[in-house]
Structure 1
């Protein structure tokens, strides 16, 4: 299973290099199902992996002048605060079970169902290539809208260990009227900062398997460079759509698997 896990970790980087995003959404399922990491700890490991892989992408965009640092820090300040609060106050105090529709469900199952839902939601813009079609200059967003999106992105990153790029990039384009390429680069900076803020707090109350964590991260980063080399001769739009369908199918499989597991646990 670990061999499959490292192949999947390479695929995380490949997708980031080939289509410019999306791969990090697979990090938690890979850690849980292929490496046997608990869902809560997997979200912590994911923050580190997502943070470093996003940093690689952010550095490339910064060199190409596709990052608005002021926007990154202003828009990301509230999401960073939200990430810290979630990782410091909520995650360490989660109960073993929660009540859903009158039935007790383990937090692990609940988190994987939430993550699968996130995968399904994030697959839609990839399949439709919505980000490519967004136009700048639609309207100027109000402060409340910007704050709201900042909190939402922080919740997604803090609770599930995902970067939230599928929310961030459209938000920067629509709310702040930033051109698409600069929105992608700026969102990578925000994701990097959010991820490291969350992980830095987790280090204080989790025992980390650094050998596993650094190996997976290294493999994923290697995949990024391979993906970047391959992307020069491939149709990114077609690749992105194909990857979106893959994420959608994986999300649905996780939902079915976790529901079956929850039903079996209740009956036992």
Structure 2
């Protein structure tokens, strides 16, 4: 089953891949969210089988995560002991997630429903994003239950690394990453900052470092299995790097909270689009994804220009 799917010729115009990379990269730089949650469903809707879409997404993620980690490392925002505490157990999770994908791909009944399963996962992601943005500032859940087991003081005593929860979350998020193409930064950052009381800058920088590990392991394992397209990944990566720079530059002119809620809506639209794709409505699926994505970009650009002009007139 999987060999037949991966041997079918798939042609996507280079300008589409570059544009897709630029769009997702701009959102990542603008909102501080990972692009995998959109990249995998977009590639699947454009015609790639889910295993190939996941593998290609993880492969293109390597370059952007490395560049982001280097930048945060230069600002002393990366705790390498923390990266290894999450990242090394995460390797096992990523490999396990990839093997789970291979298992599903060899089961025609499951493979046919994989798009619907992923759509359900996107709905969950959209809900988590919206909940995080709508939650009162300073609110948090119970933190003390995650501060258990051996620990290592870091940052001159400012925070402590608890290894047992790091191993647990590292493996769990690694499985999700290996199965879906997500880098995992969406999960790691709130776990570090909200459950483990780590400084926000360290959480952001270190989560990118973990994504470097998970994306390299995922890209390599999917590549050896023949479930990744290097040419597509390279074109997407080029667009993504350019887009992330532009998005990061525009952050000073954009109110992030409203856009993040819109991004959660876009993820929900991607889920709906995948449902239509699963039932053979290709044109409707592409239309939903394109219109919702274009609307978010238009609002972001309009907001940035308005805020820039407002600041310039002061």
Give TM-score, length-normalised by structure 1: 0.83
Q: For residues 221 and 84 of structure 1, do their structure 2 counterparts lie closer, same or farther at Cα, with a shift above 3 Å needed?
A: same
Q: Distance in 2 between matches of 1:72 and 1:132?
A: 27
Q: Deviations over 1:87-137 (max 9, x none)?
A: 3x4434445436xxxxxx341x43322322232222234334259746699
1:255 and 2:258 correspond: no
Q: Deviations over 1:202-236 (max 9, x none)?
A: 22221653322201111111110111121121112
Q: What is aligned with 1:110?
A: 113
Q: What is aligned with 1:196?
A: 216
User: How many equivalent pairs are there?
Assistant: 252
**Is the deviation greater in 46-55 or in 212-221?**
46-55
Matches within 5 A, 1:135-214: 138-139=143-144, 140-143=146-149, 144-206=164-226, 208-214=228-234
Q: What is aligned with 2:44?
A: 32
Matches within 5 A, 1:78-93: 78-87=89-98, 89-93=99-103
Q: Deviations over 1:33-80 (max 9, x none)?
A: 22x221111111111122322222222222222111111101221111
Any conservation in 2 of the 1:5–1:30 contact (CA below 8 Å)? no
- Alignment RMSD: 2.6
- Structure 1 unmatched ranges of 5 or more: 99-104, 263-268
Q: What is aligned with 1:48?
A: 59
Q: For residues 169 and 114 of structure 1, do their structure 2 counterparts lie closer, same or farther at Cα, with a shift above 3 Å needed?
A: farther
Q: What is aligned with 1:7?
A: 19
Q: Distance in 1 between matches of 2:97 and 2:57?
A: 15
Higher-Rg structure is 2
Secondary structure of the corresponding residue to residue 220 of structure 1: helix
Q: Distance in 2 between matches of 1:131 and 1:253?
A: 31
Q: Distance in 2 between matches of 1:237 and 1:90?
A: 35
Secondary structure of the corresponding residue to residue 163 of structure 1: coil
1:18 and 2:24 correspond: no
Q: Distance in 2 between matches of 1:83 and 1:132?
A: 33
Residue of 123, 126, 130 corresponding to 2:126: 123
Deviation at 1:17, TM superposition (A): 0.8
